[in-house]
Amino acid sequence: MRLVIASLGLLTLTAQSAALTDAQLLAHYRHLHSHPELSLQEEQTARYLARELSSMGYAVSTGIGGHGLVAKLENGDGPTLMYRADMDGLPIPENTGLPFASEATGIIPSGDEVAVMHGCGHDVHMTVLLGVASQMMARRDEWQGTLLLVGQPAEELGAGALAMLEDGLYPRFGVPDANLALHVSATLPAGQFGYVSGYALANVDEVDISVYGRGGHGAYPHTTTDPVLMAAQIVLGLQTIVSRELSPLDSAVITVGSIHGGTKHNIISDEVKMQLTVRSYSDATRAMLLRRIEEISHGVARTAGMAEDRLPLVTVTDEYTPAVYNDPALVGTVAGLVRQALGESAMVELDPVMGGEDFSRYGRTEEQVPGNIVWLGTVSPANMAAAEAGQLTLPSLHSAKFAPDAEPTIAAGVSGMTAALLGLFKVRP
């Protein structure tokens, strides 16, 4: 079901008494920042959000697709809109110097204990969700419809959205007319929004390649078939796929992130293992990349004389995240609403990136719900000026030093996303 955009007037974002104050939002942010939890382990984080949303008057359901939660507010006849925030942290030891820096730890699948921080801004995402929730509750006389607020687990694994959908997200809580989300940006000024129409983030595939050979003594390579040499040829061959087989107007990335083989200087091993990340936008390009990776790997081994039953094993793992496609009509409406609320310069157009985001999953169901994820800047004026002067390299997302300028970032996030939701609720299917 598509939306017909109604005529929208300027939105006034004056908070009513029931809405969270800036000080309360900052307190929530500091708590969430100090208590990160790893993917699939977000039990206390979900409990914190559920308690706060319940106290506002939302009907909160928990344990969806793991530690996922949905806060629902039915407010008369009208559209159903969904707004998502992700909850998981990262296995990174924080090095920001903040007085509320994380000292949390978690257990990774290997069983090792690691330091954990919110190095991707999910603490900001959750805080903005709480602020938006309080605004929408306080101002429910300004809109009609049903609001679904989603706290999603395991975004960093690309698994949480699918888990919630497979656990009945839409059948249990209603199919939205549109889905919204935001993600912090490590390069935009604090409080400025960025938008991308169409493809915004990439398909993400993980590919494992086992290259088999015939091992032996390093002094007698002629008696062996060297898998290290084959692996090197495969690495070089893979780089020709994007540069020579894909249109220059299309975009893709094939990166070999890991390669391991052998045990000693003078031993030619029997096997080399490689790990790849493969990025694309369209499904057709994705299929071509994955096919050619296998064909090139097999071709190198055949040229080296390997038998058909000893060709490289190429495995595409289950950790697939589809590309994010921002619905152009929805993007235009949201951008206009944010500009009305915060000023013309508050929303700027950006280029798509090759990062991944499983927000895409919410639009890849049979209902084909239109979605839009926007970027929200986090960089303080001082750091932005220093970076522009070449005096500072801004920490990226997933950096141990990533520290948003929290107050203006959160304030703009709440105002902008509240404006978007209030405006979209004036839409009729």
pLDDT digits (tens, 9 = 90+) for 221-255: 999 999 999 999 999 999 999 999 999 999 999 99
Q: State residue 11's pLDDT score.
A: 38
Catalytic residues: 88, 155
289, 316, 343 — which closes off a domain?
316
Are 153 and 221 members of one domain?
A: no
- Reported as a pLDDT band with limits 50, 70 and 90, residue 321 is very high
Statement: residue 3 has pLDDT above 50? no
Residue where one domain finishes, among candidates 262, 282, 316 = 316
Together in a domain, 158 and 249: no
pLDDT value of position 16: 43
Average pLDDT over residues 161-183: 98
Residue 75 has a pLDDT of: 97
pLDDT(7) > 50: no
pLDDT(289) > 60 = yes
In this structure, are 34 and 106 located in the same domain?
A: yes
Predicted pLDDT of residue 98: 98
If you average pLDDT over residues 150-165, what whole number do you get?
Answer: 97
Q: Residues forming the annotated binding site?
A: 120, 122, 156, 183, 398
243 within a domain of the structure (yes/no): yes
pLDDT of 2 higher than 50: no
The pLDDT assigned to 221 comes to: 97
Q: How many CB atoms lie within 10 A of CB 380?
A: 18
Name the band, by pLDDT with cuts 50, 70 and 90, for residue 429: very low
Do 128 and 244 fall into the same domain? no
Residues 140 and 266 both lie in one domain: no
Domain-embedded: residue 11:
no
What pairs with residue 86 in β-bridges? 152
Residue 143 lies in a domain: yes
Whether residue 173 sits in one domain with residue 64: yes
Average pLDDT over residues 137-147: 97
Residues 263 and 251 placed together within one structural domain of the fold: yes
Same domain for 62 and 183: yes
- Please give the pLDDT value at position 403: 98
Same domain, 62 and 211: no
What pLDDT, on a 0 to 100 scale, did the predictor assign at position 427? 67
For residue 420, pLDDT over 60 is answered with yes
Q: What is the pLDDT of residue 319?
A: 85
Please state, rounded to an integer, the average pLDDT across all residues of the chain. Answer: 95
Numbered residues of the known binding site for Mn(2+):
120, 122, 156, 183, 398
Q: pLDDT category, 9, cuts 50, 70, 90?
A: very low
Least confident span in 12-16, 32-36, 292-296:
12-16
| Whether residue 163 sits in one domain with residue 33 | yes
Domain containing 88 equals 22-201+323-426
Determine, yes or no, domain membership for 150: yes
**CATH code of the domain containing 219:** 3.30.70.360
Phi and psi, residue 301, nearest 5°: -65, -40
| 49, part of any domain | yes
pLDDT of res. 18: 80
Pick the last residue of a domain from 264, 289, 316. 316
Q: Determine what percent of the chain is predicted with pLDDT higher than 90.
A: 94
User: Residue by residue, what is the 3-state secondary structure of the chain?
Assistant: CCCECCCCCCCCCCCCCCCCCHHHHHHHHHHHHHCCCCCCCCHHHHHHHHHHHHHHCCEEEEEECCCEEEEEEEECCCCEEEEEEECCCECCCCCCCCCCCCCCEEECCCCCEEECECCCCHHHHHHHHHHHHHHHHHCHHHCCEEEEEEEECCCCCCCHHHHHHHCCHHHHHCCCCEEEEEEEEEEEECCCEEECCEEEECEEEEEEEEEECECEECCCHHHCECHHHHHHHHHHHHHHHHHHHCCCCCCEEEEEEEEEECCCCCEECCEEEEEEEEEECCHHHHHHHHHHHHHHHHHHHHHCCCCHHHCCEEEECCCCECCEEECHHHHHHHHHHHHHHHCHHHEEECCCCCCCCHHHHHHCCCCCCCEEEEEEEEECHHHHHHHHCCCCCCCCCCCCCCCCCHHHHHHHHHHHHHHHHHHHCCCEC
- CATH number of residue 122's parent domain: 3.40.630.10
Based on the structure, what is the number of domains in the chain? 2
Q: Is 285 part of any domain?
A: yes
| pLDDT of 337 strictly over 60 | yes
Average pLDDT over residues 127-153: 98
User: Which pLDDT does position 12 carry in this prediction?
Assistant: 41
Evaluate if residue 4 carries a pLDDT over 60. no
Query: What pLDDT shows up at residue 203?
Result: 97
The verdict on 82 and 177 lying in the same domain is yes
In a domain, residue 391? The reply is yes
pLDDT tens for 49-91 read 999 999 999 999 999 999 999 999 999 999 999 999 999 999 9
Q: Is residue 232 part of a domain?
A: yes
* Same domain assignment for residues 30 and 143: yes
Reported pTM: 0.92
Q: What is the pLDDT of residue 251?
A: 95
